[in-house]
Structure 1
Amino acid sequence: MDELRRFRLALGAWAGGGPRADTAAVAARELAGGGLRTAVLVEGGSDLAALETLAARHGRDLGAEGVAVIPLGGATNIGRYLDVCGPPGLGLSLAGLCDVAEERHFRRHLERVGLGADLTGAGLESLGFHVCVADLEDELIRALGAEGVQQVIEVQGEMRAFRTFQNQPAQRERPVEHQLRRFLGTHSGRKALYAQALVAHLDLDRVPRPLERLLTRV
């Protein structure tokens, strides 16, 4: 198990509290002391996959640069992770990515740990936190276009599954962009798979702004 994975696991146990939290905190501090400088707090595994894939396309290895991308397991966990990564805990430089519907959680907890007051969207960006409208999948679908996304689905061998999905009564009258967004989230692991695949297929001059700005920040 590499050090970055060990750090993520230790950090999760520390943030989760409970009887293992103190031991996990010691482990996380030791691992962070090996050159970690920045924690990028993202909602889930698809954000992690997208950011690391984009970094690789630019010839960057975030882990080797001392940047740890940390999936929160949901935006409502941002407070716990700010407590362990931010000023109350490890004191790392911070950045992050969230969906527009979850922005309020990020604002509230960034303010709580002393990283801002009455934060606006511009204020969040100045701190390194960027907001997807409506979410990462929506951003990538708009960047690639419906045809481009379907080409990626074809490469993944899932076009038949997508056509079957389109023919479901609840989907037939929806725009194809809505169908695609819903399809990408229908199975466990599919969001991360397609986050990686879509970013790999994307022209670098059409990278969604939140993802591009976040990578530039770190």
Structure 2
Amino acid sequence: MEATGGHGPVVLVEGESDAVVVRALLARRGAAADVVPMGGVTNLAAHLDPLGGPAPHVLALVDAPEVRFAVGALRRHGVRAETLEELGWHGVLVCDRDLEDVLIRALGPDAVLDALAGMAELGAFESLAQMPHWRGRPVAEQLHRFAGSGSGRKSRLAARLADRLDPAALPDPLGPLVDAVLAMP
């Protein structure tokens, strides 16, 4: 990736399914940004390097269990940030668990099940839900597991769920991310 030199916003995301969601939400709000899947948060520092490190035009979306990598990436660039608030000051926005969890909680299990039905994936989900390890668990947990299984399912489901979000009432950290891009020159 080449440094943007302040020419436009860059949003670094962990993977392709995250990029699908962020691109869709930005497009719906008329915001333009270069959304870059990093291939995992462990690559954040390497993606910040050609951008000159953390900068006002650079945002990153990371999962809570991976915050330590974001903290390390910022330190590598001379920025000390320990709390979620401090990370936010430097453009790092954190999903409570991960983006799939944010989407499932924001929309509710029924909307996710409806999206799966529209993808002709409901039968496959019901099979997973009946497996001994998953039987009796909360539907949201089953959906979270199912979203990450199957080739390409995560991105396909992410696109469907992004389309169902109300652009005027996006959940954290998606709302603040979109607002930050919209506020950039």
Unaligned runs of 5+ in 2: none
Equivalent in the alignment of 1:41: 12
Q: Give 1:130-209 correspondences, 5 Å limit.
A: 130-209=93-172
> Is the contact made by 2:56 and 2:91 (CA closer than 8 Å) also made in structure 1?
no
Which has the higher Rg, Structure 1 or Structure 2?
A: 1
Residues 21-78 of structure 1: CA deviation (Å, up to 9, x unaligned): xxxxxxx36xx47x84222111001111001111122233x2xxxx211111011111
Equivalent of 2:67 in 61, 80, 103:
103
Q: Could you say what the CA RMSD is over the residues aligned between the two structures, in angstroms?
A: 1.9
Structure 2: which amino acid aligns with 1:122? E
Once the 2 structures are TM-superposed, how far is the Cα of residue 164 of structure 1 from its aligned partner? 1.2
- 1:80 paired to 2:46: yes
CA offsets, 1:83-113, max 9 Å, x none? Answer: 122349xx78211100001111001111220
Q: Which position in structure 1 is the counterpart of 2:27?
A: 56
1:163: how far off?
0.9
Alignment-derived partner of residue 21 in structure 1: none
- TM-fit CA distance, 1:206: 4.2
Gapped regions of structure 1 (runs ≥ 5): 1-10, 12-27
Aligned partners of 1:75 and 1:87: how far apart in 2?
15
**In 1, Cα distance between the equivalents of 2:94 and 2:25?**
17
* 1:120-157 deviations in Å (ceiling 9; x for gaps): 21111112211001000001000001111111111111
Between the aligned residues of both structures, percent identity stands at: 40
The answer as to whether partners of 1:37 and 1:92 remain within 8 angstroms in 2 is no
| C-alpha distance in 2 between matches for 1:159 and 1:204 | 26
Q: Is the 1:97–1:130 contact (alpha carbons within 8 Å) kept by the matching residues of 2?
A: yes
Is 1:212 the counterpart of 2:183? The answer is no
1:8 aligns to what? none
| Pairs aligned (count) | 181
Match of 2:85 in 1: 122
The structure with the largest helix share of the pair is: 1
Q: Which has the higher contact order (CA 8 A, sep 6+)?
A: 2
Q: Is the 8 A contact 2:29 2:167 kept in 1?
A: no
